[in-house]
Chain A
Amino acid sequence: MTAVDTHRAILAVWRIEQPRLITSLARMLRDVPLAEELAQEALLAALEHWPRTGVPERPGAWLMTSARRLAINHLHRAPMLERSHAMLLRELEEAQAVAPDYAADLDDDIGDEMLRLIFTACHPLLPYDSRPALALRMICGLTTAEIARAFLVSDATVAQRIVRAKRTLSDSGLAYETPRGDELAERLSSVLEVIYLIFNEGYTAARGDDWLRPDLCSEALRLCRVVIAIAPHQPEAHGLLALMELNASRTAARTDATGEPILLLDQNRKLWDRIQIQRGMRSLARAEELGGASGFYTLQAAIVACHARAARAAETDWLGIALLYAELSAVTRSPIVELNRAIAVGMAEGPASGLAILDRIADAPELKGYHLLPSVRGDLLRRLGRHEEARAAFEAAAALAGNRRERDLLRRRAQEQG
């Protein structure tokens, strides 16, 4: 193995073991930021030792032993403020004295701990920007550099976001616990929001040249599966998973060989991932069985499912989509949803009906500067044969688009209007 291979192999093991390290340390130390730091230190130790010794037979047990030793050292250095501190140290030393038992490690059901960690990383009191970074770092095991690359920001920015979040966690003494009752619904919605934010950052790549950053999408999918595996009765979690699976199923069809975007209706549907669509459909059915049919994510998933069901673009159930958007619009009261409803109505009833909806939301402050408003308008105008107005709309949209490839596509559409 080359040094680079070994490094990659260690990071792979790390990603698998890291959530268990953090949850286990956090449970012992009752301090998530400290647990995260010690887990990172254990990784550094592995990166130092394993290239010489090779990856051990039981890498998880090695990392756990190493992290516990680091915890003991830390507690020895830290001032003994409380009796509980000394007790904690004794517990840790006792745990360390017995040979690490790999089977017992597997026995350790981390489901509840993991859920607690997710709720902590996505806590609504943490700075908004910090939540996805902290979740990716603590739960998915991504490095600061990987997160920075994925979000197109500098390493320093990500490091700062994580430090800020950890400081908030330490200072506020935010309870490291799984919320119950009414609080659960509110906190879960923050978790799902973070997951969806990570997914969308990967899926739409609002800035920069890459149309897709698939790693973020798969991490978001994985996080959502984690939430569902340990909290299986939340319909919106299933709805979100369905929405993401169904959207991600089109990944291979969304760009051409040179990376240029291909619009949904022009995509080669044979490239859609059937296995992923099936998984998405199953999750959607589950969300509906659990009574979540009118949920925010489930409704969106139901809309995407209409596309997934159509073998050809011409077979799309636009009326069904328009009705689902109407329902979603009632839930969200968002002009962006109305914008999408205008597209569907434009397809189901004709461009004039779509345009009528657009006229009603044209001045919505939420849509100011949003390139899709003139882009959709351009498309409806084009279909009405109003090419001059369509060209102006596409040009306006291109001027607002933040993604180079999307901008080029809109310019091309403007030119096509003659």
Chain B
Amino acid sequence: MRFMSIVSSPASASYGNPTPELLEAMGKLADREIKAGRMVDNGGLMPLDQGARISITKGVLSVLDGPFVEAKEVIGGYAIFELSSMEEAVALAHEFMQIHKDHMPGWEGTCEVRAFAGSAGS
């Protein structure tokens, strides 16, 4: 089964860049997961204020460049895994968030785990 883990944090908080310790720990975890053949893709995203939003509201299509004052939470990065169960995806996300707790005190956020629709396996 294919999963995507998406990590986000509240837009209101400005945590700044991840600490070097967190970056290092995340790098090691990603390296381990790639070597274990489970992680097939991952990446961090540039800040939302450098992004753009293309939306449809009340039948009107619009293109908006950042920054976005109304944003509630900001996606910081994602990872794609090939795993045999949701439980494995949850265990990995748990480990990923534990690293944040350990190496970036005060940080708050969410790691959302989602299965790809129609991905093989059960």
Q: A and B: partners?
A: yes
Tell whether B45 is near chain A: CB-to-CB under 8 Å.
no
From A57, A60, A114, A218, B35 is in contact (CB under 8 Å) with A114
Taking A110-B35, A217-B120, A252-B118 as known contacts, 9 extra A-B pairs with beta carbons closer than 8 A to each other, sorted by chain A number, are A9-B90, A16-B38, A16-B88, A16-B91, A110-B32, A218-B1, A218-B121, A222-B82, A252-B120
A19 to B37, CA, bound (A): 12
Q: Are A9 and B91 in contact (CB under 8 A)?
A: yes
Q: Which of B67-96 contact A (CB under 8 A)?
A: 82, 84-85, 87-88, 90-92, 95
Give 13 CB contacts A-B under 8 Å.
A12-B88, A12-B91, A13-B91, A16-B36, A16-B38, A58-B98, A214-B121, A224-B37, A226-B36, A229-B35, A248-B120, A251-B120, A252-B118
Q: Which residue of B lies closest to A224 (CB)?
A: B37
How many angstroms between the C-alpha atoms of A411 and B66 in the bound complex? Answer: 63
Q: Which of B84, B90, B95 contacts A218 (CB 8 A)?
A: B84
Contacts of A16 in B (CB 8 A): 36, 38, 88, 91-92, 95
A256-295 vs B, Cβ < 8 Å mask (1 yes, 0 no): 0000000000000000010100010000000000000000
Are B35 and A226 neighbours in the complex by a CB distance under 8 Å?
Answer: yes
Query: Separation in Å of the B109 CB from the closest CB of chain A?
Result: 17
- Which segment, of A90-98, A101-109, A311-319, A388-396, faces chain B? A101-109
For the complex, is A11 an interface residue (Cβ under 8 Å from B)?
Answer: yes
CB of A223 closer than 8 Å to a CB of B: yes
Q: Is the CB–CB distance between A214 and B88 below 8 Å?
A: no
Distance A221 CA – B122 CA, assembled complex (angstroms): 16
Q: Is A407 an interface residue (CB 8 A)?
A: no
Min CB gap B67→A, angstroms: 32
* In the bound complex, CA of A114 to CA of B91 (Å): 21
- Using CB atoms and an 8 Å cutoff, list the residues of chain A in contact with chain B: 8-9, 11-13, 15-16, 19, 57-60, 102-103, 106-107, 109-111, 114, 214-215, 217-219, 221-226, 229-230, 248, 251-252, 273, 275, 279
CB-defined contacts of A106 to chain B, threshold 8 Å: 25, 28-29, 32
* Residues of chain B with a CB closer than 8 A to A219's CB: 84
Interchain CB contact under 8 A, B25 and A225: no
A-B residue pairs, 3 tightest by C-beta:
A225-B37, A12-B87, A222-B37
With A and B bound together, what is the CA distance between A15 and B87 in angstroms? 10
Give per-residue flags for B20-48: 1 if the beta carbon is below 8 A from chain A beta carbons, else 0: 00000100110110111110100000000
Q: How many whole Å from A105's CB to the nearest CB in chain B?
A: 10
B interface size (C-beta, 8 A) = 29
CA distance A11 to B50 in the complex (A): 42
Q: Using an 8 Å CB-CB cutoff, how does the interface string of B49-67 with A read, 1 for contact, 0 for none? A: 0000000000000000000
Inter-chain contact A229/B34, CB cutoff 8 Å:
yes
* Distance to closest chain B CB from A139 (angstroms): 9
Chain B residues lying within 8 Å of A224, measured Cβ to Cβ, are: 37
Determine the distance from Cα of A252 to Cα of B117 in the docked complex, in whole angstroms: 11
Distance of A307 from chain B, by nearest CB (Å): 18
Say whether, besides A16-B92, A58-B98, A214-B120, A221 and B37 are in contact (CB < 8 Å): yes
- How far is it, in angstroms, between the C-alpha of A215 and the C-alpha of B121 when the chains are bound? 6
Select from chain A the residue with minimum beta-carbon distance to B26: A106
The yes or no answer to B102 lying at the interface (CB within 8 A) is: yes
Tell me the bound Cα distance from A112 to B37 in angstroms.
15
Min CB gap A78→B, angstroms: 32
Chain A residues within 8 Å of B122, by CB: 214
A251 CA to B122 CA, complexed, in Å: 13
Please report the C-alpha to C-alpha distance between residue A218 and residue B37 in the assembled complex, in whole angstroms: 10
Determine the chain A residues whose CB is within 8 A of the CB of B31 once the complex forms: 109
Residue among B32, B37, B82 having the largest count of chain A Cβ atoms under 10 Å: B37
Are B36 and A8 in contact (CB-based, < 8 A)? no
Q: Chain A contacts of B91 at CB under 8 A?
A: 9, 12-13, 16, 59
User: Cβ of B118 and Cβ of A57 under 8 Å apart?
Assistant: no
